[in-house]
Every structure is written in structure tokens, then in C-alpha cells.
């Protein structure tokens, strides 16, 4: 595990990525035990510098969120990200109380993490505003299908002094045009140089046309969308020469076939774009789907 993480983090670092959200949705955090997540955070903190690290401490159990947040603080991680607890519906009042109690106990700056397609609970604008007024909120990650939600979040962030980050990997010029601070996305693990290029073209000191790189991201999205998340991202990692590890859930023969097809198609795309395999890794290492 440590060797694979070291190679992965080095791959991101050498391609200009600014930081990592540890144990995010792409990392399948709900499928790890609390102790496994602590161990992973410790390894990432050791290997990531000079990349900055934010710890996703989300869990269905409030006490587990607090325990993991306190552990992140012990490791010296500067901020945490919190999603709403998944599965059971929650009122906005209860969501606010959950976030406030967590922030009070953890005593670290907080990024809220809105991904209602995964959690089943959308963080409302009024909840975000109330949390920002009473807790050390430094940002929010907006993911999922509600692209239009970026705009009111950005407006609120300007009033409440927090940053908005997007998970819309394949629509980066649009979200940067709206005013987001950056992207926290899964596809950066596959094509970091393409996404960093778009960032610099849109947000750098000498802006330029990002169309060519943006078209590549659309092609990546078209391939990725043929399989469910996050197994699809794992296929991209394998195609790039990284080690995504064994599937953490049951994979059907149909999904295994799609997985292998995505790996093959991505390898062809990467050759066409002259994107080399990640340094120090070999193709197809460490992953079995089906």
C-alpha cells in the first residue's frame, strides 16, 4: 500500500497538482474501517509533502467523524472536509447541528462537501450560510449533477469569506469562468497535466484559450461514463500505469468487461496525446476486476 501511495502522490506532485483531499469519494472511504482510515491518513501525511493535505472525515456515525477529525488534527493536517451523513434523510436544521458539533469538537478549519447523489442529503444554501457565520468554514466542494449550484455558492462565499471548489472535472473552463477557486476532482488522478493546464490557462497570470485541453477532458469523461464510479476511475489509473488496488466490492463479469475495455481505450488515448505512463509503475499492476 505504501509503495503504491508513494508512486501515486509523486505522480501528482510532479505534474503540478497543489494538494490532495485524502480519503475522498474516489478513494472509496466508506469501505474502510475507522482504523484503516487513520492508518491511511498517517501514511499520506508522511508521503505527501510539499503537497497540502485536507482530510475527508465523513461517516454515517457522528462520533466516528469527530474521532477521525481529532486524529487528523493530531497528525498536523490543517483542515478537514465533511459530507452529510449518508443513507438516512436529514433536515437542514439537523445538518447544521451536525456540522457545528463536529467543528466544535475537531477544532480545525472546515470544508463542507456537497455530493447529494452519493449522500442522499443536499446541503442547502441557508445551512451553509449559518455554518459559515458560526464556525471556521474555509471552503466548500460542490460535486454532482447540480452544476447551476456553483453560482449561488460563489456569491455566498464572497459574502462569507470562503472558497468554492468544484468537482466538475470535465467542465473546468465553465466553473473557472464562474469564479471557483479550484477543482477537487477524481480525474486529476488520471490526467493531472491536462487539468493543471486548464487551471493555468484560466486562472494563471497569462490566461489563454483552454479549448484543446478542455476537449481532452470531455473525451476522458465520455470514456469514464461507461462504467460506474469509482470503479471507472480505477480503470483510468491502471491505464496510466498506477496501482489502484483490488476492488473493494463485488464486480460482475459485465462490469469487469467494461473495465478492461476502458483500460484499453484510455491507453490508446494516452498514446495519442503522448502522455507517458506514471514513473516507476508497469501497466496493469495490482488490479483485478472480475
Q: How far apart are CA 235 and CA 261, in angstroms?
A: 9
Q: Are residues 173 and 288 in the same domain?
A: no
In a domain, 214, yes or no: no
The reply to whether 215 falls in a domain is no
Q: Is-cis flag, bond preceding 72, omega within 30? A: no
For the segment 54-75, what is each residue's pLDDT rounded down to a tens digit? 999 999 999 999 999 999 999 9
Q: Which of 208, 243, 261 is the last residue of a domain?
A: 208
Q: Which among 208, 235, 268 is the end of a domain?
A: 208
Query: At 41, is the secondary structure helix, strand, or coil?
Result: helix
Range of the structural domain that residue 65 is part of:
2-208
* Total of domains in the chain: 2
Collect all residues with Cβ–Cβ distance below 8 Å to 255 and sequence separation of at least 6. 227, 228, 231, 289, 290
The answer to whether residue 219 is domain-embedded is no
* Residue 150 within any structural domain of the chain: yes
Among candidates 12, 102, 120, 38, which has minimal Cα distance to 66?
Answer: 102
Q: Name the pTM for this structure.
A: 0.93
Asked if 181 and 239 sit in the same domain, the reply is: no
Is the model's pLDDT at 214 over the cut of 90? yes
Helices (H), 121-251: 125-134, 150-160, 172-178, 192-203, 211-224, 231-239
Q: Are 134 and 236 contained in the same domain?
A: no
- Whether 232 and 89 map to the same domain: the answer is no
Task: Classify residue 161: in a domain, yes or no.
Answer: yes
Residues 82 and 119 in one domain: yes
Pair (197, 241) in one structural domain: no
- Are 41 and 140 within one domain? yes
SS3 240: coil
If asked whether residues 203 and 233 sit together in one domain, one would say no
Q: Which residues pair with 166 in a beta bridge?
A: 142, 183
Q: Tell me, yes or no, whether 217 lies in a domain.
A: no
Regarding whether 196 and 57 lie in a shared domain, the answer is yes
pLDDT score of 246: 87
Identify whether residues 63 and 107 lie together within a single domain: yes
Of 57, 58, 41, 49, whose CA–CA distance to 19 is shortest?
49
Best CA proximity match to 23, nearest among 3, 6, 43: 43
Say which CATH number the domain at 163 has: 3.20.20.70
HSE at residue 276, side-chain half, CA atoms within 13 A, is: 7
Q: Is residue 248 part of a domain?
A: yes
> pLDDT of 90-142, one tens digit each?
999 999 999 999 999 999 999 999 999 999 999 999 999 999 999 999 999 99
pLDDT tens digits, one per residue of 250-288: 999 999 999 999 999 999 999 999 999 996 443 333 343
Q: Give the per-residue pLDDT at 279.
A: 66
Residue 279 counted as domain residue: yes
Q: Does 261 lie in the same domain as 180?
A: no
State which of 175, 208, 241 marks the end of a domain.
Answer: 208
- Residue tagged 480545525 (cell numbers): 108
Dist CA 35 CA 40 (whole Å): 9
Q: Cα Rg for the chain, rounded, in angstroms?
A: 19
Same domain, 275 and 241: yes
Amino acid at each position: 500500500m505504501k509503495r503504491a501511495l508513494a508512486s501515486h502522490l509523486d505522480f501528482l506532485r510532479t505534474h503540478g497538482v497543489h494538494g490532495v483531499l485524502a480519503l475522498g469519494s474516489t478513494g472509496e472511504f466508506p469501505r474502510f474501517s475507522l482504523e484503516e482510515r487513520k492508518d491511511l491518513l498517517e501514511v499520506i501525511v508522511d508521503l505527501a509533502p510539499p503537497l497540502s493535505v485536507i482530510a475527508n472525515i465523513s461517516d454515517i456515525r457522528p462520533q466516528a467523524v469527530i474521532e477521525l477529525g481529532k486524529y487528523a488534527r493530531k497528525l498536523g493536517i490543517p483542515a478537514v472536509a465533511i459530507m452529510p451523513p449518508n443513507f438516512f434523510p436529514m433536515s437542514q436544521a439537523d445538518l447544521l447541528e451536525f456540522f457545528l458539533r463536529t467543528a466544535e469538537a475537531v477544532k480545525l478549519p472546515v470544508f463542507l462537501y456537497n455530493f447529494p447523489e452519493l449522500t442522499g442529503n443536499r446541503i442547502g444554501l441557508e445551512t451553509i450560510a449559518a455554518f459559515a457565520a458560526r464556525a471556521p468554514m474555509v471552503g466548500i466542494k460542490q460535486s454532482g449533477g447540480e452544476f447551476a449550484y456553483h453560482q449561488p455558492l460563489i456569491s455566498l462565499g464572497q459574502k462569507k469569506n470562503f472558497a468554492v471548489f468544484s468537482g466538475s472535472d470535465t467542465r473546468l473552463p465553465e466553473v473557472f469562468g464562474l469564479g471557483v477557486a479550484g477543482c477537487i476532482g477524481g480525474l486529476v488522478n488520471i490526467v493531472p497535466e491536462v487539468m493543471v493546464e486548464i487551471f493555468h490557462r484560466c486562472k494563471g497570470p497569462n490566461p489563454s484559450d483552454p479549448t484543446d485541453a478542455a476537449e481532452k477532458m470531455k473525451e476522458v469523461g465520455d470514456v469514464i461514463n461507461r462504467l460506474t464510479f469509482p470503479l471507472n476511475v480505477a480503470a483510468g489509473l491502471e491505464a496510466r500505469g498506477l496501482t489502484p488496488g483490488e476492488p473493494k466490492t463485488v464486480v460482475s463479469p459485465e462490469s469487469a468487461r467494461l473495465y478492461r475495455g476502458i483500460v484499453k481505450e484510455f491507453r490508446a488515448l494516452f498514446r495519442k496525446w503522448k502522455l507517458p505512463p506514471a514513473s516507476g509503475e508497469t501497466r496493469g499492476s495490482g488490479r483485478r476486476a472480475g
